[in-house]
Structures are given as structure tokens and as C-alpha cells.
Structure 1
Amino acid sequence: MNARMPASLGLVACLMLAGTSAAVAQSNNGTPHQICHRVRVQDRPKDSHQIAGTLVGAAAGGLLGNQFGGGKGKVLTTAGGAVAGGYAGKKVQEAHQSNHATYHYEERCYEQQR
């Protein structure tokens, strides 16, 4: 059995393949170029560990805890107040820093094929 393809189909197939390879060759021949964008970046807070808020909260909590109890109970309420106040002070400063953040702009670039 001799199966022959009509000449017109062979021509169409050759043209399709030629067009595909030409498109691939053009996309691979592109030279890289640089694309840059200005990006808004949040500044890191000066006291990123909230040390000031922790210390102020611990002092206030210790003073408040010292007002309660007697003897060993007074020591425990003072210590407990200092720990709780320190934690609360840290969280208050953390919330303040996130609500009053400062920003700057940076230029970020990357290479892309044409």
C-alpha cells in the first residue's frame, strides 16, 4: 500500500513548521534588559524589641502589685504585677509602632529577556 500525501498538505505543513521555528528563534534571540520599579518599604522601628514599653509596663505593674497582699503574698503580687505589666507594656508599644510606621522608597531592578 502506497500512501502519498497531497502536495498542498506537504506545503502547508512546511509553512507551519517554518513559522513556528521562526517565532522560537526570534524569542530566543532577545537581549536582556533591565526593568526597575520604585517600591515602598516599611522602616524597621528603632526599638524593635519593645524594651522601653516592657520596662515601663513592668515598673507600673510592680508598683500596682505591691499595693496588695502582705508578707510573702506582697512579694508574689509585686512579681506577678511586674511580669503582667511588662507583657502589657510590650504589647502596647508593639501596637503603637505598627500604627505609626514610617516608610521609605527603594528602587528594585531585575533583568528580563525581550
Structure 2
Amino acid sequence: MRTFHNTLATTLVGLGMLVAASAQAQTYGPRDEGRRFNDGSRVECRKVEVANNARDQNRIAGTATGAVVGGLLGNQVGGGSGRKVATAAGAVAGGLVGRNVQGRNQERNGQRVVETRCERVYR
């Protein structure tokens, strides 16, 4: 029961910090462009080209495929406990390579959209 209370208290503290942080965060849109504040800062907007790869933004497919292939290749190396280490290392390395390959393909083949991004500038 004590563990439950500790977990609950930790969760509530974390949620409180998240709420406090989001209350301070301010977002600005194109209608705020040029708005000035008392501290001398102002809102500036600019157009940014953004890759819109909604299918697999976390690159899970490339990571998983690379990990499986890397694990299979690593399993071919060594014997005994060395084989286990090689399999694990191959899976990690393969996952990283697969994630990077998928990321490059998404950047090259992804749909591009232009968005207006606004931020508060302090000068």
C-alpha cells in the first residue's frame, strides 16, 4: 500500500509540474505578428517549409526491421555467451541504421508544406 501512495504522490507532483509549465507557455499566431510587450520584446512570424510525413513519424518500421536484420546477422558471429552479445549488439546497431535509412527516405520523398511559425523575440 505504501508503494501505491508513493507512486500516486510522484504522479501528482509530475502532473502539477506539467500544468505549471504549460500555463507559462504562450503560443502566438499570425494575428499576433508585430505585437509588442512591456519588456521590449515582440512577436515575429516567418514562413517555414516543413516535411509532413504523417505515416510513420517515429520511424518504427525502419527501426524494427533494422533490429531484426542486425540481430540475425549478429547471431551468426561467435559462440556461447559471445553469440548473445553479438546478437544484442547487432540488433541495436541494426535498429539505429534502419531508423536513419527510413528517416532519409522520408525526408527525400515526404510531402512538404509551408507553415507560418510565430515566436516572441527578445532584443
TM-score by length of 2: 0.50
Match of 1:66 among 75, 78, 86: 75
Q: How many residues align?
A: 70
Deviation at 1:105, TM superposition (A): 6.4
Match of 1:103 among 112, 119, 122: 112
Cα deviations across residues 16-50 of structure 1 (Å, max 9, x unaligned)?
A: xxxxxxxxxxxxxxxxxxxxxxx865323311111
- Secondary structure of 1:68's counterpart equals coil
Q: 1:41 to 1:92 in 2, by over 3 A?
A: closer
Q: Which residue number in structure 2 is paired with residue 81 of structure 1?
A: 90
Gaps in structure 2 of 5+ consecutive residues: 1-47, 117-123
CA RMSD of aligned residues (A): 2.2
Q: Is the 8 A contact 1:66 1:74 kept in 2?
A: yes
- Secondary structure of 2:56's counterpart equals coil
Gaps in structure 1 of 5+ consecutive residues: 1-38, 109-114
The one-letter code of the counterpart of 2:80 is G
TM-score by length of 1: 0.54
Deviation at 1:104, TM superposition (A): 4.5
Query: Percent of counterpart pairs with the same letter?
Result: 48
- Secondary structure of 2:58's counterpart equals coil
Match of 2:53 among 16, 41, 44: 44
**Runs of 4+ with >6 A deviation:** none
